[in-house]
Amino acid sequence: MILKSLVATHFRNIDQCEIHFTPGVNVLLGQNAQGKTNALECIYLFARGKSFRSVGDKELVQFGQKGFSAEISFFAEKREQTLSYRYYEGARRRCRNGAEVDKVSDMLGHFRAVLFSPDHLQLVKGSPEERRNFLNIAISQLDRSYIQHYAAFRRILDNRNYLLKNAQKGQYYDVNELQAWTEQLVEECVYITLARQDYIRRISDFAPHHMRLLSGEREILKLAYESAIVGETADEIKEGYTRAFEAGLKKELQAGCSLYGVHRDDLRLTLNDIDTRSFASQGQQRSVVLALKMAEGEVCQAFCGEVPVYLFDDVLSELDEKRRAYILSAQENRQTIVTSCEKISSVTAHTIEVVDGQFLPREV
C-alpha cells in the first residue's frame, strides 16, 4: 500500500494543502504547533473512520469555518484508489473511488495504516484499559466482526450491571433475566478472549525481534494475555466463565456490578521476565511501544497481503542514536510518514517542510 497524496481544506490549522508522498520514509519537518500531527490525524481518519485524538468531527474544522474536506489517493489491491471525507455543518459525505458510501464501516479496511502517537506510550505504564484498547483497535482492523462482538459485549454488560445494581439496592430483579444476560455475556467473552489470544500469538512472532534489535540484543520482550479465567479453547473459557459467575453470584449482588468479563483483562508485557508496568524507563517504554507498532504492521501485512502505511508521530525523541538508526533503517522499505522538529540525517528521506499549516517539499 502506498499513500500518494493528501488534499485537504479547512482541516484544523490546514487552510488548504496538497501533499505528495514517496514510497519509503517521508519526514514532516517543522517547529512546534505548525500542523505536523494535524496532517497525520487527517490521513489516519481514512484508516479508523474517526480522529485518533478522539474528538468529534466538528473539532476538526478550522476555526471560523463550517466544514472541512479531505481526500487521499493511494495504491492498493494493484490499483490506484481514492477515499474522501467531507463534513459540513453536521452533515457527512464519504466516498470511495468516487462513489458515495453510506456507513463509515464501508469506508474502512481499504486504506490501512499503523499509527504511533506519543499518547500510545501510556500503553506500557497506563491503566489496563490502554492495553485493551490497543488490542481492540488492532484486532478490529483485521476482523470486522470483532467490533460487533465487542459492541454486543458492552451492551450485555450494561444490562447485566443494571440488574445487579437494582439487586444491590434491594429492588426487584428477575433471576431468569440475569441468567439470560450471563449466558450471553459468556458467549461474547469467549469470542473476544479467543480473538485477543490469537492476536497476541501473532504479534509475538514479530515484536520481540524488534525489541531485541532495538536494545542491542539485551532485552527480551514477552507478551501474555492476563485474565481471571484460564483457558485456551472455547470450551475451557466458556466453562471457566460459567463457573466463575455461578460461584461469584453472591459477591456480584453485593457489589452491584459484574466482577468477571473481558473488560477486566490485561495484556502483560515483560522485558527479561520483569513486568514493564512498574519498571520500564522512558526509552524502554518508547521502544516497547515501537516494537509493538512495527509488529502490528507486520501482522496486518501477513493477514491482508499489503504493507500498511506507518504514521509515526514524534517517534524519535528520547531515543538514543542506535535506536533511532534501527527504526529508520527497518522502515526504509516501508512507506513511513514521520514527524520531526529536527532534521533526520541518517536516512534517505523525502522531506516536507511544515510551516503554519503549509506543506512544502524541500531538498535537504
Binding residue (CB under 6 A) for ligand ATP from 6, 45, 52, 62: 62
Confirm or reject binding of residue 364 to ligand ATP (CB under 6 A): no
Q: What is the DSSP string of 115-129?
A: EE-GGGGHHHHS-HH
CA 249 to chain centre: 35
Size of the site for Mg ion (CB under 5 A): 1
State which residue, 15 or 236, has the beta carbon closest to ligand ATP.
Answer: 15
Angstrom distance (rounded) from CA 312 to CA 328: 11
Binding residue (CB under 6 A) for ligand ATP from 6, 19, 21, 34: 34
Binding residue (CB under 5 A) for Mg ion from 26, 34, 37, 287: 37
x/- map, 63-82, ligand ATP, by CB under 6 A: x-------------------
Segment near Mg ion (CB under 5 A), from 35-43, 88-96, 102-110, 264-272? 35-43
Q: What does 13 bind: Mg ion, ligand ATP, none (CB cut-off 5 to 8 Å by kind)?
A: ligand ATP
Confirm or reject binding of residue 36 to ligand ATP (CB under 6 A): yes
309-312, strands of its sheet edge to edge: 113-116, 309-312, 336-340, 25-29, 349-355, 358-362
Q: Which residues contact 317 (CB under 8 A, 6 or more apart)?
A: none
Which of 233-238's residues contact partners 24+ apart within 8 Å by CB, and which partners? 234/190, 234/194, 237/189, 237/190, 237/193, 237/194, 238/186, 238/187, 238/190
State which residue, 36 or 324, has the beta carbon closest to ligand ATP.
Answer: 36
Q: How far is CA 169 from CA 40, 157, 177, 248, 256, in A?
A: 48, 18, 17, 18, 8
Q: What does 315 bind: Mg ion, ligand ATP, none (CB cut-off 5 to 8 Å by kind)?
A: none
x/- map, 301-340, ligand ATP, by CB under 6 A: -------------x------------------------x-
Segment near Mg ion (CB under 5 A), from 29-37, 87-95, 256-264, 288-296? 29-37
